[in-house]
A and B are shown apart, each in its own frame.
Chain A
Amino acid sequence: MEHQTIPLAAQGSGTSLQRVRVWDRFVRAFHWSLVGAMAVAFATSLLLPKEWALIHVIDGTACVALVAARLVWGWLGPEYARFAAFVRGPAAVIAHLRDIAAGRVHRHRGHNPLGAAMIVALLAGVVVLGVTGTATLGGTLKSGPLAFALSFATGSAAREVHELVAYAVLGLIAAHVAGAIFESRRTRENLALSMVTGLKEARSGDEVPAAVPAHAVLAAILSVTLFAASGFAVATLMKRPALGAPVGALDASYKKECGDCHIAYHPSLLPSAQWTALMDGLARHFGENATLPAATAAPIRSYLTANAAETFDTLAANAFRRVSATDPLRITAAPFWQRTHDEISDAVFKAKPVKSKGNCAACHSDAATGMFRPWNIDIPEVVK
């Protein structure tokens, strides 16, 4: 099927030109899959709420996998897919720009030097997004292959880079689309359609790369091996304990004694000084007497202060180190809590099954672990 030819009236020249296969099946499938996956990546981060974070992570992984396969194909694929055949230095890019400026239609049947530079930039952008995304996931959410190694601070820094690069890639995509439209007009051929059919007109004077055979089987074996090895490496790294994340269940006595009136809050949700003050004031506890016998209270006090916000490096522990100035013992009064929950209506908090702002577990299925990961958020339906 490669190099199948179809005679067709040439749009510009008026003479009958043949159309030849330029983009092979893999390149086309790769191109449109990446378009789709990047659209999902931008939608799940810029448009949709936090709950979509896991889809974003899976989708981002797919983007990187696609690029990895493209890199293999860029080495073992046919001539039009090979980086060696179309990636040029800056001199070629400048020469191409001069042609455009002078109105010369010097046509590359494959990628032109400017288009090639764009491809390299886009592929590199996706790789950088993959790396910084994994670092964000590891450092801030204590998940994924880097959770064992990265602090919250490193994860937050990675997140800033991730965001900047994402906007840069968005800009590149816009430029890429504009370039394709411009080049389609200039060379009087619908380039987007060519990326669907794989066919381009064969015009005289086209710059054409030397034919090389594709090693499809070898490329497939290499890609699959690469995926299996990375999958194994990721799985192995993910078995390591996450840096600064709490492990194990809540202390049984704490859960029993402090879980009668509300959920037993994870100790990482308040700093040590606040737990001490709270334990000192159980007789006047938010409008109720919650006194405990001294023998029961002492171990609970040590447990809470030993596992307070300062002792962990999760997103919640970092966020809840800053307490409210006026109501410091209330987690739901902390500036972070107020900020992150201000779009939820009071009706949701008051109605069944949530019933109160402090009922974290109604919306955060992992509240007892202290992790509060975005993909474990689900605001329940109000029961009337």
Chain B
Amino acid sequence: MRIAAILTAIVIAGTAIAAVAAPPAQQAIIDQFAAAAKKADPGFSGFSPDAGKTFFFAEQTGGTGEASNCYACHGKDPKKAGETRAGQTIDPIAVSVNPKRFTDMAMVEKWFGRNCDTVLGRECTVVEKGNFLTFMSAQ
């Protein structure tokens, strides 16, 4: 009985982690954000893909640019190509169809820096970034 319960718990936990876990290259980047989040808040318990999804589709205010949400350029379906305001194609942002996404920390930080200012008029928090990456890595 007890062994069965423990096994079930392990299986459930394993599935939950598998559902959230990103491919190794992306996970390495997410881990860096997680470490930073933990340092800032010892109570930090992990990133939430659902919060990342909400963030991606949220209508924001205070942006310095003309776009007021993330999907204005990346598109409503992360698995499909997006488009810049100048009409240039943006490769899909979802890792499942574009495994090169979020594999270079400098690039990730450069674009968070730009796009968060454009859309929200401020830097994104570490948690917002981690949630976003966790969501997109599972897409």
| A residues at B contact (CB < 8 Å) | 260-263, 283-284, 287-293, 354-356, 358-359
Task: Decide: B87 and A355 in contact? CB cutoff 8 A.
Answer: yes
Is the C-beta of B113 less than 8 angstroms from some C-beta in chain A?
A: yes
Task: Decide: B86 and A358 in contact? CB cutoff 8 A.
Answer: yes
In the complex, given contacts A262-B88, A283-B64, A355-B88, what are 16 additional A-B residue pairs having Cβ atoms less than 8 angstroms apart?
A: A262-B87, A284-B64, A287-B66, A288-B65, A288-B66, A288-B114, A288-B118, A289-B117, A291-B110, A291-B113, A293-B110, A355-B86, A356-B86, A356-B87, A358-B86, A359-B86
Contact status of A292 and B84, CB under 8 A, knowing A284-B64, A287-B65, A287-B66:
no
Q: Which of B83, B84, B114 lies at the interface centre, i.e. has the most chain A CB atoms within 10 A of its CB?
A: B114
Is the C-beta of B85 less than 8 angstroms from some C-beta in chain A?
A: yes
A362 to chain B, nearest CB (A): 9
> Which residues of A lie under 8 Å from residue B65 when comparing CB positions?
287-289
> Which residues of B lie under 8 Å from residue A261 when comparing CB positions?
84-86, 88
A70 to chain B, nearest CB (A): 53
Contact status of A263 and B88, CB under 8 A, knowing A287-B66, A288-B65, A289-B64:
yes
Task: Decide: B114 and A289 in contact? CB cutoff 8 A.
Answer: yes
- Could you give, for residues 59-76 of chain B, a 1 whenever the CB lies within 8 Å of some chain A CB and a 0 otherwise? 000001111000000000
> Which residues of A lie under 8 Å from residue B84 when comparing CB positions?
260-262
Pick from B67, B83, B114: contact of A290, CB under 8 Å: B114
Closest to A262 in B: B86
B17 to chain A, nearest CB (A): 34
> Which residues of B lie under 8 Å from residue A288 when comparing CB positions?
65-67, 85, 114, 118
Bound form: Cα–Cα A287–B67 in Å: 8
> Which residues of B lie under 8 Å from residue A355 when comparing CB positions?
83, 86-88
Interface size on B, as a range, is: 10 to 19
Closest to A351 in B: B87
A60 to chain B, nearest CB (A): 38
Residue contacts A-B, CB under 8 angstroms, 27 given:
A260-B88, A261-B86, A262-B86, A262-B88, A263-B88, A283-B64, A283-B117, A284-B64, A287-B65, A287-B67, A288-B66, A288-B114, A289-B64, A289-B65, A289-B113, A289-B115, A289-B117, A289-B118, A291-B110, A291-B113, A293-B106, A293-B110, A355-B87, A358-B86, A359-B86, A359-B87, A359-B88
- Could you give, for residues 102-122 of chain B, a 1 whenever the CB lies within 8 Å of some chain A CB and a 0 otherwise? 000010001001110110000
> Which residues of A lie under 8 Å from residue B83 when comparing CB positions?
355
Closest to A257 in B: B110
> Which residues of A lie under 8 Å from residue B115 when comparing CB positions?
289
> Which residues of B lie under 8 Å from residue A359 when comparing CB positions?
86-88
> Which residues of B lie under 8 Å from residue A293 when comparing CB positions?
106, 110
The number of residue pairs between A and B whose CB atoms lie closer than 8 Å in the complex comes to: 52
Q: Which of B64, B66, B86, B87 lies at the interface centre, i.e. has the most chain A CB atoms within 10 A of its CB?
A: B87
B61 to chain A, nearest CB (A): 16
B65 to chain A, nearest CB (A): 5
> Which residues of B lie under 8 Å from residue A262 when comparing CB positions?
84, 86-88
B117 to chain A, nearest CB (A): 4
> Which residues of A lie under 8 Å from residue B118 when comparing CB positions?
287-289
Bound form: Cα–Cα A288–B85 in Å: 9
A344 to chain B, nearest CB (A): 15
- Could you give, for residues 125-137 of chain B, a 1 whenever the CB lies within 8 Å of some chain A CB and a 0 otherwise? 0000000000000
Closest to B119 in A: A289
Q: Which of A261, A284, A288, A359 lies at the interface centre, i.e. has the most chain B CB atoms within 10 A of its CB?
A: A288
Bound form: Cα–Cα A366–B65 in Å: 31
A357 to chain B, nearest CB (A): 9
> Which residues of B lie under 8 Å from residue A356 when comparing CB positions?
85-87
Bound form: Cα–Cα A263–B84 in Å: 11
> Which residues of A lie under 8 Å from residue B85 when comparing CB positions?
261, 287-288, 356
B82 to chain A, nearest CB (A): 11
Task: Decide: A291 and B86 in contact? CB cutoff 8 A.
Answer: no
A250 to chain B, nearest CB (A): 16
Closest to A354 in B: B87
> Which residues of A lie under 8 Å from residue B113 when comparing CB positions?
289, 291
What are the nearest 10 A-B pairs in CB distance? A355-B87, A262-B86, A287-B66, A289-B117, A356-B87, A289-B114, A261-B84, A288-B65, A289-B118, A287-B65
Bound form: Cα–Cα A343–B64 in Å: 34
Bound form: Cα–Cα A290–B111 in Å: 9
> Which residues of B lie under 8 Å from residue A283 when comparing CB positions?
64, 117
Bound form: Cα–Cα A356–B65 in Å: 18
> Which residues of B lie under 8 Å from residue A358 when comparing CB positions?
86
Bound form: Cα–Cα A260–B74 in Å: 13
> Which residues of A lie under 8 Å from residue B66 when comparing CB positions?
287-288
Task: Decide: A291 and B114 in contact? CB cutoff 8 A.
Answer: yes
